[in-house]
Every structure is written in C-alpha cells, then in structure tokens.
A and B are shown apart, each in its own frame.
Chain A
Amino acid sequence: MPLIIKDEYPEKLFREDGKRLDGRDKNELRPIKMEVGVLENADGSAYLEWGNNKIYCAVYGPREVHPHHLAKPDRGILRVFYRMATFSVFERKRPAPGRREKEVSMVITDCLKPVLFLELYPGTSFEVYINVLDADGGTRCACTTVAALALADAGIPMRSLVTAVAIGKIDGELITDLSGIEDKAGEADLPCALTWFNEELSLLQFDGKMDLDEFNKSLTLAKEALSKIYEIQLNALKKKYIEIQEEYSGGEK
C-alpha cells in the first residue's frame, strides 16, 4: 500500500530569490564533515556527513580471501560492499542488497583500484564496507570519498586519495552537488571522481540530457568542487595527529 505521505517533488527547483531549495547557490557544496579512525575493530575506518548523508566506512585488509576460489595468484583483490540501511531512505528499503547496491559497489571498486598496488599482495583480499545510514543524493560520490579516507587510515599504500562529486542540471541550470530532491527531479546527473596522482577521472557516469557545451562546463565545475572536497579529506586525515602534536609541542619543534 502506498505510504500516507507521498514522496512528491516540487515543480520548481529554484526559489524566488534564485537560490536552490536548501538555500544554496548554484555551485555551492553542502556542509561536509569527515572523521577518520572511528571504528576500532576495523583496520581502517572513516565517517562522513555530507548534507544529510551519513555514511560509515570500514576497511579490512590485506586478509585471506573468503571464498578461496576468488583469490588471484598474481594480485590482491579489492571488494567494495555498498549497502544502504533500511531507514536511510523515504520508503523503507528491504534489507537484502538490491541490484542498484551491487552496481554501485562495482563502480566504486573500479574507481578505487587505480590508486592501489594490488599486484604487491597476491592471494589476498581488501574489503571495503560502506554503510549509508541516511541518504540524500550523491551517495555514490560521498561513499567513494569516505572509502579513500578509510583505505589511507588502514595504512594501505596508495598513489593518492580519490575524491568524488555529482554535478547536475536542474531547471536548465548547471549545479554542483545534487541533493536528493535535485537528483530525483532534475534533468541530469553526472557523478564523477578524480584520482589525484594523475588528475584523471576514475568514476564517470551520466544520466539525463545535456548538450556538449553543458557537458564540458560540467566537468570544469566538477574539478573546482573536487579541489575543495579534497582539502576537507586532507584535513580529516591529518587532523587528529596535528591536534595531538599541538597539544604537546607548546612551541618546541
């Protein structure tokens, strides 16, 4: 039976004052908070709040491969498990992983692989568990971003971090960082991620309609946004160490 309140979207996605429905400018990011080393039982972990998105990520590895037949003799394998909690969305989601979750898991896996040195760890497995507890648009980008932090926290050698963001089009205008409503009701959605060691795209998907001009402009907007988010990632990684150093150095170096 349908829910009592329907999941409806407004006609216009811009307000009278020209701002987006949540008060943002066209190219403004939502508030982002990141923290590393939050789960003591995992080898590496990170937590991310991005707008209303709330995501935990844990990394285990390198470890033995279960089931054994998946192990590769010449390299390690990377497995990402992107899962959404039942209560993370408007209409309760069934607990078992669906097709979308499996697809997103695969996309994130391919996105993270280029920064790892899997060939150094044959016969082993690196597992990345990402649980979205509250979702509000752009989850695959948020999850990629937090997964890169968790991998670094696990002490796994990486060529660089990876950062992701979704650019979109609503009411004919290009915007940065789609929220849930903007994603569902908008005209285009372009999630992408950059690996910083070579500044190339390792995640790229597109849904909607855009002309070539808009598409190129979107990639430029993405690059600008990604640089800002990257700064936040770097600070999150260093923060707890620097705070401790400052507490005890008192000026001496």
Chain B
Amino acid sequence: MEDEKNEPNEEPTTDNSEDVDADEFDDEETSRDLVVPGETLTEDTKTYLPGRGTIFNKDRTKIISLNIGLKQVKRNYINVIPLRGFYTPRPGDKVIALVTDKNPVKYICDINAKDRGILKPKNTVARGKPRGYRGGAPDRQNISTEKYSIGDILIVKVLSADRLNKPELTTVGKYLGKRRDGLVITIDTPKIPRVIGRSGSMIKMLKDLTKSNIFVTQNGRIWLKSEDIAYERLLIDAIRKIEKEAHTVGLTDRMSEYIKNEKKIRGMN
C-alpha cells in the first residue's frame, strides 16, 4: 500500500529539545528553596510580581506559592518551578499517544492528560494529490480508521486544545506516526525538561553512554530503544533517578558517573 511506503522508517534520532521548555531546573535563577502550596514567597509586593505557579493573597500583601516546587526569581517575577503536576495539552506539542479506542470516524487516544485526544483519519494522511490523479474528487478512502489499531503507540502533534474541547491530534509530520518497536515509559511531566537538560546536555549524555535512541515528548512520555535489554534497563533506571533527583544540583555529572559505575557493576561495556 502506498501509505506503508510513506511511513517514517527512520527512528527519531534527534529529540525535540527545541520544542520543550528550557530546563528550568538547571537555570541559575532557580533556587533550591523548596516551597509548598500556601507558602509565602515574599512580602515585598512593591518590587515583585507573581509569575508562574504563584498568586497574590487576598489583600495583595504577599505572593504565595500554588504548588510544591522550587522558588525562582526572574527579573522582578517570582515563579515556582513545580516538582509535581499533570500534562496540559497545547497546540504544537509533540506527544506520545496510545490508541485506546476507535470507531469508523476517529481514533481515541490516551495522551496522559485529563482528556483523551482525538485523531481523525484526515490527519493521518499527508495532504496533496495522490499520484496519478489530475484534479477530480478527493479520495474518499481517508475517512476510514483502518490505518492504526488499538494498542498502537503513535508519536503525534497536538493540533488544537482548549478548555472545552478534546484535543485534536495529527500524525502528519517529521518523526510522527506509528512506532513499531522500542518501549515507552512515563515520568512526572514537570521533570521532562530535566531529562533533556540545558541545551540537550543530559539527553545527549544518556544517548551516548547507553547507546540508545531516545525521544522525549511533552506529555511525560519517553520512547526509547537500545541495543539490548541490559542497556534498556540501565537507561530506564537512569531516567527514574533523574526524575527523583531533578531538584538537586550537579545532576548531569552525577548521572554520567552513575551510568559509568552501573555499567561496571552490571558487567556491561
């Protein structure tokens, strides 16, 4: 079938670090002060304004934290970088979806968000005239949901998402589409930038040291594939360690040490 040939055969060898928020855990302006909901961040409301994850109190005499996270001061904004949280879809996000249901007119996918995502057949096929056509009626065949099955893992892009409608997805684009092998794990969404690291430093180190392909997406999911299961186990253990220690200093170096040590302990090269 024509579609099969157009399927991306290459595995995603680059991550989409340009799309993901900068690694705020590694930012100089992020302190290591742990704050919790309701905690006062400052009483100097003349100098500072409430930023991300913060709010004025009722009489605007204090700025308080809404989340459990790290306090950050950027210019005159006080922000809280959350350590726990859930994924909220935004247009343009690349995410990993699991097809959980389908009917003749759409696929329904779990994207680790409060709503399931909708993938319409027209968004699974690239636009453009099919070969051999010269004008004429559009091919009705793209109204079927034959292409994907329940249980498929797809890398998709969020087309639209708002508070009232379920997010709409597409598999048309570079590196998007069905993955036929590898493994997907899910971590805390706020920790995703930490897995990528400042300018991609963490993910590059992970890839090099564990000889793996890694694709990190915004909804807390990571697709990975290594040479063999020993590397995959090590990579997963490393990612879990990053998740647990995301709020500490010197993590990238420590992770590099950890992986090298583990390789020795586990008798890997």
Direct contact of A and B (CB under 8 A): yes
Is there an interface contact between A237 and B38, defined as CB atoms closer than 8 Å?
Answer: no
Q: Are A158 and B37 in contact (CB under 8 A)?
A: yes
CB-CB contacts of A56-77 with B at 8 A, as 1s and 0s?
A: 0000011110000000010000
Contact with B along A61-100 (1 / 0, CB 8 A): 1111000000001000000000000000000000000000
Quick check: is A152 within 8 A (CB to CB) of the other chain?
Answer: yes
Identify which of B57, B64, B82 contacts A155 (C-beta below 8 A).
Answer: B82
A214 to chain B, nearest CB (A): 31
* A123 at the B interface (CB under 8 A): yes
Q: Which residue on chain A has the smallest CB distance to residue B54?
A: A157
Residues of A contacting B174 in the complex (Cβ-Cβ under 8 angstroms) = none
Check: A244 CB closer than 8 A to any chain B CB.
Answer: yes
Interface size on A, residues (CB 8 A): 37
Which of B57, B66, B164 sits near A157, CB closer than 8 Å?
B66
User: When each residue 122-158 of chain A gets 1 if its CB lies under 8 Å from chain B and 0 otherwise, what string results?
Assistant: 1110000000000000000000000000001111111
Neighbour of A237 across the interface among B36, B82, B85, CB < 8 A: B36
- Chain B residue with minimal CB distance to A65? B114
The answer to whether B58 has its CB under 8 Å from any CB of chain A is yes
Contact with A along B65-79 (1 / 0, CB 8 A): 011100000000000
Known: A44-B84, A155-B86, A248-B248. A197 touches B114 (CB 8 A): no
Q: Nearest chain A CB to B258's CB is how many angstroms away?
A: 11
Residues of A within 8 A of B (CB): 43-44, 61-64, 73, 115, 120-124, 152-161, 196-198, 234, 237-238, 241-242, 244-245, 248-249, 252-253
Seed contacts A64-B115, A249-B249; 17 additional CB < 8 Å A-B pairs: A43-B86, A44-B84, A121-B114, A121-B163, A123-B163, A124-B115, A152-B68, A152-B84, A155-B82, A155-B84, A158-B38, A196-B38, A197-B58, A198-B58, A237-B36, A238-B34, A248-B249
B21 shortest CB reach to chain A, Å: 16
How many chain B residues touch the partner (CB < 8 A)?
33
- Chain B residue at minimal CB-CB distance from A244: B245
> Across the two chains, which residue of chain A brings its CB closest to B244?
A244
Interchain residue pairs with CB less than 8 A apart (30):
A43-B86, A64-B116, A115-B37, A120-B163, A121-B163, A123-B163, A152-B37, A153-B68, A153-B84, A155-B67, A155-B84, A155-B85, A155-B86, A155-B188, A155-B190, A156-B86, A157-B66, A158-B37, A158-B67, A159-B37, A159-B66, A161-B36, A197-B38, A197-B57, A238-B34, A238-B36, A241-B247, A245-B248, A248-B249, A252-B250
